[in-house]
Amino acid sequence: MTRTLLFTSGVPQNIWVEAPFTYVHIINLFPTPILDWDTPQYRLYGTPPSYSSLRVFGCSCYPHLGPYVSNKLSIRSVERVFLGYSSHHKGYRCLNPTTSRGLHTIYFLLYVDDIVLTSSNNQLLQTFIDTLGRGFDIKDLGPLHYFLGLQVTTHSQGLYINQIKYAHDLLSKHDLLFSKLVNTPMSAKFDLNATDGVALENPTSFLEIVGSLQYLTITRPDITFAVNTVSQFMRHPGVSHLVAVKLILSYVKHTLDHGLLFTPQRQPVTLSTYSNADWAGCPITRRSTSGYLVYLGSNLISWYYKKQPTIARSSVESEYHFLAHASAETT
């Protein structure tokens, strides 16, 4: 619904948050079979809804500026874009398309019963939290420190995100806290294939480690290629594949405090993409594995590794194939 409203109205995507507020407001005014064809508003407030104030999202509107003008000769109205309905008083929310004055962004992340909120405006953020508190039983825990295995540390240089506790628990679970330290997650001369060595009688441990390592790549792009490689042997893992994942864990122990640092950027900020390919890296299919990194200024914001769907005839073809893919994803 949010995408539909934005697409049909032409409203800028950076104020997408106005769209769900609008359609939730409209939903509350219409009958629903869940409430025996009553409206949510009637069930909440005991008054029938009025439809006379409904307007089309993104349409042109001309708010009355009489109370705000400085003299009698000032313009009484100007064209604006209708965004929705105020939750605090009887009135509309409008956008000045030339200045976007008064508009801010709220980022809302929800997982089951855990919520992370941030905004470009502290007052707007607090108002949003207070509004949520009136409708739901929530508790504000203050600044973000820990969320779904991610540890967040704020310091003078910016924001640092890592998974130290998650990685430590993973090493402890598989008895690798005292393993030998290694400097790389995978040996450059260590080629894995599906027919290597003896098959594992019980692959549960292998599957658990690989699944946990996949979650660890949220803040560890340095192990993404290695994890992508061992993930290809989930169906019939062998002893050599288990050795490979334990090598990755040994590297994780050596780099336990690695993570992502996000620092404030000075304008103008440049979006940069770097790509590379391991030409014919798979010894069985001879397909290449490619990847790219996307930076916003000096901040790494996205990364991706995947085996190419076709066989490249040369390293140049492999490089250009994924360079085109990376460019398309960035733009």
The tens digit of pLDDT for each residue in 144-199 reads 899 988 999 988 888 999 999 999 999 999 999 988 888 999 877 667 777 777 88
Give residue 320's pLDDT band: very low, low, confident or very high (50, 70, 90). Answer: confident
Q: What is the pLDDT of residue 260?
A: 94
**Mean pLDDT, rounded, of the chain:** 85
Using an 8 Å Cβ cutoff, are 69 and 90 in contact?
A: no
Q: How many residues does the chain have?
A: 331
How many angstroms separate the CA atoms of 309 and 284, rounded? 14
Reply yes or no on whether the pLDDT at 28 is more than 70: yes
The answer, as to whether pTM is greater than 0.85, is: no
Is the preceding omega at residue 268 within 30 degrees of 0, hence cis? yes
Contacts of 178 (CB under 8 A, 6+ apart): none
